[in-house]
Amino acid sequence: MVFPNKLKKGDTIAIVAPSSPVSKEQADLCKKLVEDMGYKVKMGKCAYRSIHGYSAGTGREKAEDINEMFADKNIKAIWCIRGGDTSSHMMDRLDYEMIKNNPKIFVGYSDVTNLHVALNQKCDLVTFHGPMVKSNMLNKYDYFTKNSFERVLNMEEEFILENPPGEDIKVMTDAYEEGIIVGGNLSLLTSMIGTEYEVDTKGKVLFIEDVNESVEKIDRMMYQMKYSGKLNDSVGIVIGDFANCHNESCKLYGVDELMKDILSDYNKPVMYNIKSGHCHPMSTIPLGLKCILDTKEKLIKFKK
């Protein structure tokens, strides 16, 4: 796996919209924000596009943006403006061979999960499950989120994942394992099962998170992951944040209780309450990198 080169002040960052749209005013504010951080900015055309009210351009237009940014030698990083919907529309239009030959920093989460999986598996590129420009940096860029993001981008040989103060990393099943970490948003991972873009968890650590889903729907998705072999194939599971995911019928049975039931006979390490996902603050996870799970020490460590 290729870990992309570090960012320097003065480098050019591309801001792309692979999922849902933002307003022109928000796009302009995002551009100014990143410029004020000390970078040059190239905006993707779809950052200013909106069709059907929920997509920032067609699949062809969004793929053209992504391909253009990876091909541009002057661009050192690609940051997604937000998640939402319709990243799936571009998957068959991306130039994976070109992207593989032009590795660079790629950041996002949520609906961007499709791109993380494809770039990890088809391009051997380490990508970053981290803050997005409009969703996180524009209004909620707290110190912990910023520090975690910058530490991962600038890591040397290893990086230890930390939770925000007051949030303990918890252990569901005990063991020690290591493997490449893959995954992202649970809804997106399940939606791609049966396609060439489905996540490969064989011998890997599976990371999952989600937002605004009922416990009943998470139950269904986890059983789809189980019956498709994704859970058994993995060597360990990291459970991220499940923001606003509730059981309205039974307040005492939430996501944690569901996961414990499903994974009770899973004889591999499972660590949870990891604050990465649709949460503020959030930790950044380098997807595609070697991950060590040590439940005895409650340690999640990444190594190049």
Q: Which tokens in the block code for residue 57?
A: 């351009």
State the sign of the Cα–Cα–Cα–Cα dihedral 89, 95, 100, 103. Answer: negative
Q: Which of 89, 116, 129, 278 is catalytic?
A: 278
Coil/strand/helix, residue 40: strand
Q: Which residue, among 12, 2, 15, 3, has the nearest Cα to 46 in the 3D structure?
A: 15
Task: Report how far residue 276's alpha carbon sits from residue 41's, in angstroms, rounded to the nearest whole number.
Answer: 26
CA distance 20 to 55: 4
Take residue 37 and report the two structure tokens written for it: 């951080």
Bridge pairing between strands 127-129 and 105-108: parallel
Q: Decide if 166 contacts 223 (C-beta within 8 A).
A: no
Q: Do residues 6 and 70 make contact, with C-beta atoms less than 8 angstroms apart? A: no
CB 144 within 8 A of CB 250: no
Place of tokens 């998470």: 218
Count helices and strands (H / E) in the chain: 9, 14
Best CA proximity match to 42, nearest among 6, 71, 84, 5: 71
Q: Which of 64, 177, 209, 213 is catalytic?
A: 209
At residue 51, what are phi and psi to the nearest 5 degrees? -130, 145
**Angle subtended at Cα 231 by Cα 283 and Cα 93, rounded to the nearest 5 degrees:** 70
Give CA–CA dist 117/107, Å, rounded. Answer: 12
Which of 20, 55, 87, 110 is catalytic? The answer is 110
Is 278 part of the annotated catalytic residue set?
yes
Q: Where are the beta strands (DSSP E) in 19-147?
A: 40-43, 75-80, 105-108, 127-129
Catalytic residues: 110, 209, 278
